[in-house]
């Protein structure tokens, strides 16, 4: 059979060394050159001249065609397979023309810079029944293959649990170079989470099966939020380049087969015994232990990779991991070995040893689920009748609108999921499935003895005590109820405000600690010299928000009586406690950021009428 004719996009003429842009030279090129299944017939680079330089540097035949336009390469009838090995942000624009030309297509991992891009590529390939392959080399690694073989054989029985404790980068990225800034950005889709952790996660599910997404929970933590960026000469060009990619990734849940799973990856400067990771798979008949060393990429083979099996009725044994003895890998380096293996599997139609666009999309979606945050909004009241036709029945719609807009500005709208719950009717979320709960405002009082108020208080108490990963946010009634439930044992009281009702847009003098933890508030400023930090004095600077409340949270004196790291976020001249804050756990505010002028005016007109004992002067003051 004639070899598959290949056109490579991104084979550079860069010199030796593991630097950005040389992956194709180090892995793709030798894998194709040493395989009897493939023949390189064309290159596509940023210019025809660049392609010709690469042809000459790598000693390719003079007949190799040079292109600068992907559409011309894709339209070449002599090209069967287009290989895309460039930066992730360009995967979509370069792969689409190849798919449109009905070519076979290879794209390095990640398939796209986002799930949406991966979905588009997978959809185009599926629509035309095209053969595709993604550079998830871990699927052909000897350790992955042997793990899958043992699990599928039933040697260790039915799966009960699995746990992985490993490292991401051995050294924190305190030194970074221009041209690879995307690696520090969680939104780029080409960072340590999506690339490094993503490679392992794909192999993990390839061996053990998919997660039950209903049980999935995750914590991602960033230690280093900025660092110096250097140019090629080592000169600092930005001493504080921002970093949002996580340094720690914790994923837990159940697999579809029922086994529990835990993956805990960290960034560290050194490890005990130079063990980079340890993976345990436990079954009803025995256990498997896989381990590997530091400073290695999961998707490449390494001598430190070890595999042991312990059956409960037998001796522990070490399983030898052998390099395949096939022509396609006879003369390739260890770095290129697994790339050569997935290309060989692709040529021979062995779908169990490589990922196509469809299976890679599943890993993309799983990574997104790990990143995604679930905010459960607990509705404690309904809108007044006059605004329901325009705004809907529940206040949660306003929170979703505003929080969704904020997520869009940050470029993470696809990672936030909202659910709404009518707690007055007794409907509650499962706290283990939530990352945050938000308690809305209500005409009810936090000290009411209505069954639903008591039940909501118990729910908040349970979430705080038993689900420490869940953040708690409350506004107005939500603020007051959180204060009563969580700080009541420490002397906090919710009561009628002795100063009466507080209406209108008021200025909150913010506590310096809140500004320190939320730098975006720095421009608003905190309390001025004539305004006490607890809000007992006037202030012309601070956070300006709409007020509408007659109750308040009274804290014990002095404020230092609050437990742990709790603080009062600040106050107004009218009300000293306008919010409560415990870092990484709780944030409440008294005002209504969710209400626009129409909602607020109609709400006041509905509840605070003369027939209910409120004077015309009161209403005039409320609208002032």
Instruction: Read off the CATH number of the domain in which 91 is found.
Output: 3.40.50.720
Residue-wise burial string across 327-349, b where 16 or more C-beta atoms lie within 10 A, e elsewhere: ebbeebeebbbbbbbbbbbbbee
Comparing C-alpha atoms, which of 26, 30, 25 is closest to residue 10? 25
Comparing C-alpha atoms, which of 521, 152, 496, 144 is closest to residue 355? 144
Residue 361, domain member (yes or no): no
In 3-state terms, what secondary structure has residue 513?
helix
Q: Is the pLDDT of residue 45 over 50?
A: yes
Q: Is the pLDDT of residue 415 over 90?
A: no
- Per-residue model confidence (pLDDT) at position 225: 82
- Per-residue model confidence (pLDDT) at position 15: 60
What's the CA gap between 72 and 65, in Å, rounded?
Answer: 11
Q: What is the CATH number of the domain that holds 245?
A: 3.30.360.10
Q: How large is the greatest C-alpha to C-alpha distance in the chain, in angstroms?
A: 94
Residue 204, domain member (yes or no): yes
Residues 132 and 191 in one domain: no
Q: Is the pLDDT of residue 19 over 60?
A: no
Residue with tokens 């306008």: 578
Confidence class of residue 529 from pLDDT cuts 50, 70 and 90?
Answer: very low
> What angle is formed at CA 430 by the lines to CA 578 and CA 161, rounded to 5 degrees?
125
Residues 98 and 145 in one domain: no
Distance of CA 623 to the CA centre of its chain: 43
In 3-state terms, what secondary structure has residue 46?
coil
What's the CA gap between 441 and 603, in Å, rounded?
Answer: 12
Confidence class of residue 170 from pLDDT cuts 50, 70 and 90?
Answer: low
Please give the helix or strand (H or E) that residue 71 lies within, else none: helix 70-74
Q: What percent of the chain has pLDDT over 70?
A: 94
Residues 70 and 200 in one domain: no
Confidence class of residue 498 from pLDDT cuts 50, 70 and 90?
Answer: very high
Q: Is the pLDDT of residue 367 over 70?
A: yes
Residues 25 and 157 in one domain: no
- Per-residue model confidence (pLDDT) at position 538: 42
Among 30-44, 210-224, 537-551, 587-601, where is mean pLDDT lowest?
A: 537-551
Q: How, if at all, do strands 570-571 and 159-167 pair?
A: unpaired
What's the CA gap between 550 and 553, in Å, rounded?
Answer: 11
Residue 333, domain member (yes or no): no
For residue 81, what are the contacts with CB-CB under 8 A and spacing of at least 6?
4, 5, 6, 7, 38, 103, 104, 105, 106
Residues 456 and 602 in one domain: yes
Q: What is the CATH number of the domain that holds 395?
A: 3.40.50.880
- Per-residue model confidence (pLDDT) at position 219: 86
What's the CA gap between 538 and 219, in Å, rounded?
Answer: 41
Residues 484 and 562 in one domain: yes
Structure letter (DSSP) for residue 196 = I
For residue 33, what are the contacts with CB-CB under 8 A and spacing of at least 6?
40
Residues 164 and 90 in one domain: no
Residues 438 and 412 in one domain: yes
Residue 118, domain member (yes or no): yes
Comparing C-alpha atoms, which of 155, 107, 158, 98 is closest to residue 134? 107
Residues 316 and 377 in one domain: no
What's the CA gap between 215 and 301, in Å, rounded?
Answer: 32
Give the burial class of 85: count Cβ atoms within 10 A of its Cβ; 0-12 exposed, 13-18 middle, 19 or more buried: buried
- Per-residue model confidence (pLDDT) at position 507: 92
Confidence class of residue 17 from pLDDT cuts 50, 70 and 90?
Answer: low
**Digit-coded pLDDT (tens) for 471-495:** 999 999 999 999 999 999 999 999 9
**Digit-coded pLDDT (tens) for 80-135:** 999 999 999 999 999 999 999 999 999 999 999 999 999 999 999 999 999 999 99
- Per-residue model confidence (pLDDT) at position 532: 39
Residues 145 and 233 in one domain: yes
Residues 441 and 561 in one domain: yes
Note if the bond before 17 is cis, omega within 30 degrees: no
524-to-407, 512, 513, 527 alpha-carbon distances in Å: 21, 11, 14, 10
Please give the helix or strand (H or E) that residue 459 lies within, else none: helix 451-466
Residue 363, domain member (yes or no): no
Structure letter (DSSP) for residue 376 = E
Residue 334, domain member (yes or no): no
- Per-residue model confidence (pLDDT) at position 171: 56
User: Which residues span the domain enclosing 112?
Assistant: 4-136+347-356
- Mean residue pLDDT across the chain: 91
Residues 476 and 518 in one domain: yes
Q: Is the pLDDT of residue 347 over 50?
A: yes
Residue 366, domain member (yes or no): no
What value does the mean pLDDT take over residues 15-28? Answer: 75
Comparing C-alpha atoms, which of 338, 277, 294 is closest to residue 145? 338
**Digit-coded pLDDT (tens) for 134-150:** 999 999 999 999 999 99
Contact 261, 208 (CB under 8 A): yes
Residue 440, domain member (yes or no): yes
> Total structural domains in the chain?
3
Taking the CA atoms of the chain, what radius of gyration do you get in angstroms? Answer: 30
What's the CA gap between 111 and 132, in Å, rounded?
Answer: 11
């Amino acid at each position: 059979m004639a070899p598959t004719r290949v056109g490579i996009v991104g084979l550079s003429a860069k010199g030796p060394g593991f630097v950005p842009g040389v992956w194709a030279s180090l892995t793709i090129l030798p894998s194709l050159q040493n395989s009897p299944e493939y023949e390189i017939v064309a290159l596509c680079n940023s210019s025809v001249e660049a392609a010709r330089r690469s042809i000459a540097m790598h000693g390719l035949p003079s007949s190799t065609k040079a292109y600068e336009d992907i559409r011309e390469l894709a339209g070449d009838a002599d090209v069967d397979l287009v290989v895309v090995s460039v930066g992730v942000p360009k995967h979509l624009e370069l792969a689409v023309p190849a798919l449109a030309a009905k070519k076979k297509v290879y794209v390095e991992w990640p398939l796209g810079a986002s799930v949406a891009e991966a979905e588009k590529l997978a959809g185009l390939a599926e629509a035309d029944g095209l053969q595709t392959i993604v550079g998830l080399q871990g699927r052909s690694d000897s350790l992955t293959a042997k793990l899958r073989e043992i699990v599928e054989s039933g040697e260790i029985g039915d799966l009960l649990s699995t746990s992985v404790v490993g490292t991401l980068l051995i050294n924190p990225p305190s030194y970074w170079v221009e041209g690879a800034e995307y690696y520090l950005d969680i939104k780029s889709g080409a960072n340590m989470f999506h690339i490094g952790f993503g490679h392992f996660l794909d192999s993990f599910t390839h061996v053990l099966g998919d997660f039950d997404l209903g049980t999935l929970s995750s914590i991602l933590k960033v230690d280093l939020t900025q660092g110096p960026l250097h140019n090629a000469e080592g000169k600092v060009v930005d001493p504080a380049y921002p970093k949002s990619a996580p340094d720690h990734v914790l994923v837990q849940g159940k697999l579809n087969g029922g086994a529990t799973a835990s993956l805990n990856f960290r960034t560290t400067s050194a490890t005990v015994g130079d063990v980079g990771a340890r993976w345990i798979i436990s079954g009803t008949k025995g256990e498997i232990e896989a381990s590997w060393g530091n400073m290695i990429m999961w998707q490449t083979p390494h001598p430190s990779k070890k595999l042991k099996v312990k059956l409960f009725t037998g001796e522990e044994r070490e399983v030898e991991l052998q390099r395949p003895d096939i022509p396609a890998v006879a003369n390739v380096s260890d770095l290129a070995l697994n790339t050569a293996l997935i290309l060989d599997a692709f040529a021979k139609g062995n779908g169990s040893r490589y990922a196509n666009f469809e299976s890679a999309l599943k890993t993309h979606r799983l990574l997104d689920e790990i990143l995604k945050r679930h905010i459960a909004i607990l509705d404690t009241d309904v809108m007044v009748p006059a605004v329901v036709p325009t705004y809907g029945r529940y206040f949660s719609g306003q929170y979703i609108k505003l929080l969704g807009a904020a997520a869009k500005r940050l470029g993470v709208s696809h990672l936030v999921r909202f659910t709404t719950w009518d707690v007055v009717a007794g409907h509650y979320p499962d706290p283990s499935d939530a990352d945050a709960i938000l308690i809305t405002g209500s005409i009810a009082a936090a000290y009411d003895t209505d069954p639903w108020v008591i039940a909501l208080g118990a729910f908040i108490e349970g979430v705080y005590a038993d689900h420490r990963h869940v953040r708690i946010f409350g506004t107005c009634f939500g603020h007051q109820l959180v204060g009563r439930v969580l700080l009541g044992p420490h002397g906090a009281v919710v009561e009628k405000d002795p100063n009466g009702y507080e209406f209108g847009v008021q200025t909150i003098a913010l506590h310096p600690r809140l500004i320190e933890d939320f730098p975006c508030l720095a421009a608003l400023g905190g309390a001025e010299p004539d305004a006490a930090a607890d809000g007992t004095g006037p202030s012309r600077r601070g956070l300006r928000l709409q007020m509408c409340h007659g109750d308040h949270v009274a804290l014990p004196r002095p404020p230092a009586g609050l437990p742990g790291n709790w603080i009062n976020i600040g106050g107004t001249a009218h009300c000293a406690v306008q919010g409560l804050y415990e870092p990484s756990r709780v944030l409440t505010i008294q005002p209504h950021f969710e209400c626009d002028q129409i909602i607020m005016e109609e709400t006041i007109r509905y509840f605070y009428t003369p027939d209910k004992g409120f004077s015309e002067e009161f209403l005039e003051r409320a609208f002032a």
